Amino acid sequence: MVAQRARVSAEWLGEGVLRRSVLLPDRMPKSPDPPMTTLKILVLNGPNLNLLGTREPAVYGHATLADVEALCTAAAAERGAEVECRQSNHEGVLIDWVQAAGVQHRAGQLAGIVFNPGAYSHTSVALHDAIKGSGVPVIETHISNVHAREPFRHHSYISPAAAGIVVGFGIDGYVLAIDGLLRKARAAG
Ligand code: DHK
């Protein structure tokens, strides 16, 4: 049961007169609780993200990929959603998953992808095309602030095809991306 607050409305009656009325909860028409639809999100990690925890901890932190996936699962559940997490070091596999996600998105079964494409962000026209071609909303996510690193990380082929971008928040970025994707999906109805 959703707690109901008193509803206040105001009506402009002209000539400086504003009529305000307050509708108390027990007088308000009862409406059923809104249906809770569980939105689904795919969390995709690309090459070398399987090495999280041991890979350059000064850049990527100490959390493992399993920690990231547990974080995403909990964050989605708190927001009435669910995630499926996958990782691959192979560009073609990632492309196949993006294409399949597009089919699921069109069927209304998937809100979108939180995607850390790793180094493929900086090289892969094919992933750019897969995202565009499939029409699935993607939030590009990077653990590090790629713009504060080597110049070759400053350009992303994914960004122009993405619905949003999160960089530089460590693994909390995945939670921010889930939040942003759900807000977009719920706003779109
Ligand atoms: C992860 C990688 O593997 C790098 O190739 C990117 C990104 C940055 C990250 O910050 O999550 O350049």
CATH for 98: 3.40.50.9100
Q: How far apart are CA 147 and CA 6, in angstroms?
A: 48
Q: Is 60 a catalytic residue?
A: yes
Q: Rounded mean pLDDT of 115-127?
A: 98
Residue 146 in any domain: the answer is yes
116 Cβ closer than 6 Å to some ligand 1 atom: yes
153 Cβ closer than 6 Å to some ligand 1 atom: yes
- 23 forms bridges with which residues in the sheet? 7
Quick one: pLDDT at residue 69?
A: 98
Residue 64 in any domain: the answer is yes
20: confidence class by pLDDT, cuts 50, 70, 90:
very low
28: confidence class by pLDDT, cuts 50, 70, 90:
very low
Q: How far apart are CA 157 and CA 139, in angstroms?
A: 13
Residues spanned by the domain of 62: 39-187
Measured in angstroms, how far is the CA atom of residue 21 from the centroid of ligand 1?
55
Residue 158 in any domain: the answer is yes
Between 33-42, 131-140, 152-161, the lowest mean confidence (pLDDT) is in 33-42
Distances (CA, A) of 125 to 113, 145, 160: 18, 21, 11
pLDDT at 23 over 70: no
Q: How far apart are CA 31 and CA 27, in angstroms?
A: 12
Phi and psi of 10, rounded to 5°? Answer: -130, 140
Active-site residue identified among 60, 120, 157, 174? 60
Residue 45 in any domain: the answer is yes
Residue 15 in any domain: the answer is no
Quick one: pLDDT at residue 31?
A: 45
- Total number of domains constituting the chain: 1
Q: Residue 10 in 3-state DSSP?
A: strand
Quick one: pLDDT at residue 175?
A: 98
pLDDT at 27 over 60: no
Residue 5 in any domain: the answer is no
Query: Distance between the two ends of the chain, CA-based, in angstroms?
Result: 22
Quick one: pLDDT at residue 131?
A: 98
| Substitution candidate for ligand 1 out of 153, 166, 169, 176 with most atoms within 8 A of CB | 153
Residue 83 in any domain: the answer is yes
Quick one: pLDDT at residue 24?
A: 41
Give the orientation angle of helix 172-187 with respect to helix 65-78, to 10 degrees: 30
Residue 140 in any domain: the answer is yes
Average per-residue pLDDT for the chain? 86
pTM value?
0.82
